[in-house]
Amino acid sequence: MIVPGSSAQTLAAALAAETGRSLATPTYERFPDGEGLASVPEFAGDAAVVVASTDSDEAWVELLQLQDAVREAGATDVTTVVPYMGYARQDQAFKHGQPVSARAMARAVSTGTDRVVLVNPHEPNVADYYDAPTTVVDAAGVLAAPLPDLDDPLFLAPDEGATDIAETVRDAHGAGETDFFEKHRDRDTGEVEISPSDAPVADRDVVVVDDIVATGSTMSEAVEVLVERGAARVLAACVHPMLASNAVTKLRRAGVERVVGTDTLERACSAVSVAPVLAEEL
Ligand code: R5P
């Protein structure tokens, strides 16, 4: 059975349809003191696929509870799919005394599963932090499908680390160039500075591609530069549309025409599902 966490219900349903597996209906309750209780009252069978994006501390706890609940209900084989893995950006201690949060979370999740599947974690090396066998899925190619027709497109990564994703989307689109900007983020203030590449953008359609849009600082800086340089249209595409706080407003003010994301996080811009890519791994 596919067992959805509360933050991945649409994706879990799509995955159930894609794989022909039945879809469990967990309940997500909360005690008066705030503690959560995620249960699987009608779980049946030996194999469980728990699908949960961990975009909040509550979601991490819910995931651990669902893993335990399916074991209690008789599952002997548990696969844990984490479409969006929170804390993946704290993959090292950046200052003395900080935790490696990604490792701490990975260890906890590993205790309740036989296998883990991650979708485009911010740093692929976080897969090594899991004690259970872990597969990393690159689902960026699905972002090409919801893009409109593009004129002389440039697929631009807002930093060098996102170049592979930009190339994946360009390849799935079937035409266009790729390039990247240089980015510097002040870790104390979070402010982002972008150093433009020399790529000609005037009168071209530009798709800025990143693994995640979180605060929107990176993407909106990139979009502003492109608009100033005369790009015809600027679109934003990301695997994980976190879009925290005022990110959508920042992007709109910067001049983005459209934001396209997947359903690893369920947002208004989640225009395409990663379910077909995940189904190949199950
Ligand atoms: C950074 O390396 C990532 O690829 C993203 O560019 C970054 O995490 C996005 O964060 P924000 O939206 O807060 O700028």
CB-CB contact of 189 with 217 (8 Å): no
What is the residue extent of each domain of the chain?
2-138+275-281, 141-263
Please give the distance, rounded to the nearest whole angstrom, from the Cα atom of residue 60 to the centre of ligand 1.
21
Please give the distance, rounded to the nearest whole angstrom, from the Cα atom of residue 178 to the centre of ligand 1.
18
Sign of CA dihedral 149, 213, 216, 61: positive
CATH number of the 2-138+275-281 domain: 3.40.50.2020
Question: 123 versus 63: which is more confidently predicted?
Answer: 63
CA atoms within 13 A on the CB side of 76: 2
What does the pLDDT read at residue 120? 96
What does the pLDDT read at residue 208? 97
Intrachain domains 2-138+275-281 and 141-263 with the same fold = yes
pLDDT tens-digit readout, 71-127: 999 999 999 999 999 999 999 999 999 999 999 999 999 999 999 999 999 888 999
pLDDT for 240 beyond 80: yes
Assign a CATH topology to domain 141-263.
Answer: Rossmann fold (3.40.50)
pLDDT tens-digit readout, 161-172: 899 999 999 999
Is 241 near ligand 1, meaning CB less than 6 Å away? no
**How remote is the C-alpha of 237 from its chain's centroid?**
12
pLDDT tens-digit readout, 151-203: 999 999 998 889 999 999 999 999 999 999 887 777 777 777 777 777 889 99
